[in-house]
Amino acid sequence: MWWRKARRVLILTLLNQQPLREWYGLDLITASNKKLRRGSIYVYLAELEDDELVTSRLEEEHELLQPEFPLRRKYRITDRGIQSLAG
């Protein structure tokens, strides 16, 4: 399915624009001009993480802007993810 690969490449490309930044899923949706959707982005991010192209972590409590909200996951491209875009 070509569209699955295209979305995976889009996510990696967005993450690679600022490879040291940790992105929230919603940030990626916004950066994609809504080409990515809330219902599917986390599926793609999980697949990319399983393939070791992306890494993630839960934000820590001191990072929360609003402590009443649950912790969110932050994503970053790995060296392997950068290499996959290059080759």
| Contact between residue 75 and residue 28 where contact means Cβ atoms under 8 Å apart | yes
- In terms of Cα–Cα distance, which of 84, 82, 87, 83 is closest to 20? 82
At the topology level of CATH, where does 2-86 sit? Arc Repressor Mutant, subunit A (1.10.10)
Q: Is the pLDDT of residue 71 over 70?
A: yes
The whole-model pTM stands at: 0.87
User: Which one, of 2, 67, 66, 27, lies nearest residue 11 by Cα?
Assistant: 27
Could you read off the pLDDT of 15-64 as tens digits, one per residue? Answer: 999 999 999 999 999 999 989 999 899 999 999 999 999 999 987 766 66
As a whole number of Å, the CA-based R_g of the chain is: 13
